[in-house]
Structure 1
Amino acid sequence: MKCCENCFNDVDIKARIRDIDERGDCDFCHSKNVYSLDIKKAINNENYAENIIFDFEGLLNLYIVYDLNKSPALEKLDDESHKLADQLFNNTNIFNLPSNEISKLLKELLHRKYIENKELFNSLVIPRYLLNDNLMKNNGIFKGKTWESFERDIKYNNRFHSTMTNENILMEFFEATTVSLPVGSEFYRARISNNGDPIPGYAMGAAPLGIAGPGRLNASGIGYLYLCERYDVAIAEIKSSLNDLCTVAKFKISSELNLVDLSQINKLSIFQFDNKEQYLMNYEILNKLDYSMRRLSSNQRSEIEYVPTEFISDLIKYMQIDGKKVDGIKYISTIDDETRDIVLFDENKAIQLKDELLTYQVKKISYTNLKKVH
């Protein structure tokens, strides 16, 4: 039997299957003539697909069969018990298959383990880390608490000296997303004119210190340079209205940048981490962080709503990776999922192209009906 790259979301597994450089028809997602993995070869040859069998067998060690007869104390974890395929579907980004097909694929790929322990594949299981409070406290980003608990704490309890964050754990995940941005990369910044006149180039940089309003990644008074890959998306992001005059400046990156790419924070591969249990217990938090970065904001959004992601930004600002400071953050535009924005902590890392300053007047606005209101 064969599975293929389309069966997976995991970037590491997809890359390994492509590297095999074999094409075929998939028995699980039914894609035709795609990069595929021959399961029989994988079972019989540990070098095939860089020992993909070994890595998937390692996932089994993260779970334990949920047996109330052996330990009635487990009853409090009843809501966390699911079949193995469902656990991997809900709490990892490994597969691009429904749970029933994941189950079939696991039983084929891990056939030897399935013969040894069918109960692990067919019965309800729970993640092992749930049985160890100290493990969650030491390895959880928020010491075993949720993203929602962190939001409440940072907004209403301990704004500047949060004690509920394992910062070193969080920075491990940030480091795994680090990317370089080459010299010459081009981005745009848009602003709405307050007086109906085009905005001069000297006023198109980061907002001055003390004047800058609160943003998704900067606290009030701290001026960072927000840039966008596309000029039209940059205009949409500033929430311009009909007849507004918008000036757009073009910037070119003047030196190679070291960025934390938050657009990848929920796409990290579990297989790239030695401590897979740590990944597993923090997976939901990484997804909540991703959601917070992509959540649309209105002009009426209160300053306090930005506090959690401002905290994240401050943490990244003072990171060092391989002895180098981080220059900024890359993230998904809230307007367009295919567009990337960046925020630079030092605006001097980008040069404004003086002859590329353009002014537009908004003449048309389109609307999208997201859902029916009753």
Structure 2
Amino acid sequence: MICCNKCFEDPEIQASIISLGHKGNCPSCKSDDVYLYDFENNSNSIGLEEHLNSILEIYCPNTLLPDNYPENEKKAIEDRVLHDWNIFKNDIKIVKKIIKIIVEKSFNLDDRILIEKVGIPELFDEEYLSKNSCMGKYNWEEFKKNLRNGNRFHNHYANLEVLREILKDAEITIYADEKYYRSRVANEKGKVGFKRKEMGAPPDDVASAGRANSKGQSCLYLSNKKETTVKEIRAHAFDYVTIATFKLIKDIKVLDLTSITHNSPFYNDGDKIVYLINEKILKLIEKDLAKPLSRYDSELDYLPTQYISDFAKFLGYDGVKYYSTFDKDSYNLALFNSDVCKCVYRKNYLIGHLDYELELI
């Protein structure tokens, strides 16, 4: 069988096929002028089949699944792989052919997965989940509900050791002299702006809750774009705002929440079941981080992301980086200690007009 880089979604596999340099027309997906992979002649030259083998080996045929395994989670192998992973394009015929080739060439795969429905027993094994999932035996929704309505400060819903290891992948360094911005609205009558010394983080006693901090915890929220800071503070037309420029005075270690999920399960040689379990949770965390909150939403909606940020602070990170919900092309930086930067410039502005974007609901 011959396939091509466009038969796959996974960037690691795509790059591997492209590295072979064999161009032509793909007989599988019918794409023209693409990079080709021949399962007969290129076998294991780039590790593609080894990668796919590492995914298929985690599935058990129905006859080996526990009696209490959920029936609705049992699916044909090609359906299960398409549902669980973002490896292939959504052409189930191509996926089925490739899986059949991998299984038939493999020495360790059970060929019953080609004819029986399959599942992954560990996904419903509480003991396994407790040891290997960052949420233990619970899911993200259960964790959030417990934070809001149960035991907020002392609970066992998260496996902090696993979470610590997962978050290491999102650790980045932001170097000294990088510039960021912060805005404040002049909300007192007759006031048109703020002095430079007034543009720092609010004192603890007046600090309101945000995505990265609880009420009463000072946190400096910055953005990489001036315009985004004005959107973040929800300034109105004809408001006076002060926009300040901050410069880092030292290198800082930050948890980059814009990249807590991964593009490929093959970015390292880690256990693929552990990867699958935790990647699903990380995607839900990422989704919550990107969820816009209106002025009418409760501060309780911040609790899950505050928990992650507070854990980052506990681990010694200087702050967290996350996408702005007002501008998908920019990001915010929440600093736990504002001493790592200084305000170097500030200027007052009048908001002339606002552009409203309507979204049908």
With the shorter chain as reference, the TM-score category is 0.7 to 0.9
Aligned to 2:54: 58
**What displacement does 1:212 show?**
0.7
Q: TM-score, normalised by structure 1?
A: 0.85
Cα separation, partners in 2 of 1:32 and 1:364, compared to 1, 3 Å: farther
Aligned to 1:267: 262
**What displacement does 1:136 show?**
1.4
Aligned-partner Cα distance in 2 for 1:198–1:310? 30
Aligned-partner Cα distance in 2 for 1:37–1:83? 27
Q: Alignment identity in percent? A: 25
Whether the 8 Å contact between 1:213 and 1:219 is mirrored in structure 2 is yes
Aligned-partner Cα distance in 2 for 1:232–1:189? 10
Cα separation, partners in 2 of 1:114 and 1:99, compared to 1, 3 Å: farther
**What displacement does 1:59 show?**
0.9
Aligned-partner Cα distance in 2 for 1:152–1:217? 18
Cα separation, partners in 2 of 1:350 and 1:115, compared to 1, 3 Å: closer
1:1-374 matches, cutoff 5 A:
1-4=2-5, 7-10=8-11, 12-17=12-17, 20=20, 33=33, 36=35, 38-40=37-39, 43-44=42-43, 46=44, 48-49=45-46, 51-67=47-63, 73-74=67-68, 76-107=69-100, 112-113=105-106, 119-121=112-114, 123-130=116-123, 132-195=125-188, 196-267=191-262, 269-271=264-266, 272-319=268-315, 325-354=316-345, 357-372=346-361
Whether the 8 Å contact between 1:186 and 1:251 is mirrored in structure 2 is yes
Gaps of 5+ in 1: 320-324
Whether the 8 Å contact between 1:8 and 1:97 is mirrored in structure 2 is no
Whether the 8 Å contact between 1:206 and 1:347 is mirrored in structure 2 is yes
Write the deviation string for residues 333-359 of structure 1: whole angstroms up to 9, x where unpaired. Answer: 1122221221111112222222xx222
Which deviates further from its counterpart, 309-318 or 261-270? 261-270
**What displacement does 1:157 show?**
1.1
Aligned-partner Cα distance in 1 for 2:307–2:79? 33
- Equivalences, count: 357
Structural RMSD (CA) = 2.8
Whether the 8 Å contact between 1:5 and 1:13 is mirrored in structure 2 is no
Secondary structure (helix, strand or coil) at the match of 1:242 reads: coil
Aligned-partner Cα distance in 2 for 1:179–1:107? 41
Aligned-partner Cα distance in 2 for 1:116–1:168? 32
Task: Report the AA paired with residue 59 of structure 1.
Answer: I
Whether the 8 Å contact between 2:180 and 2:223 is mirrored in structure 1 is yes
Aligned-partner Cα distance in 1 for 2:140–2:151? 15
Whether the 8 Å contact between 2:103 and 2:110 is mirrored in structure 1 is no
Whether the 8 Å contact between 1:179 and 1:258 is mirrored in structure 2 is yes
Whether the 8 Å contact between 1:29 and 1:97 is mirrored in structure 2 is no
**What displacement does 1:296 show?**
0.1
- Name the structure with the higher helix share: 1
Aligned-partner Cα distance in 2 for 1:72–1:350? 56
Task: Report the AA paired with residue 352 of structure 2.
Answer: K
Secondary structure (helix, strand or coil) at the match of 2:210 reads: coil
**What displacement does 1:362 show?**
2.4
**What displacement does 1:205 show?**
1.4
Gaps of 5+ in 2: none
Q: TM-score, normalised by structure 2?
A: 0.87
Aligned-partner Cα distance in 1 for 2:339–2:21? 44
Aligned-partner Cα distance in 2 for 1:347–1:27? 58
Aligned-partner Cα distance in 2 for 1:59–1:249? 50
Task: Report the AA paired with residue 229 of structure 2.
Answer: A
Aligned-partner Cα distance in 2 for 1:267–1:213? 32
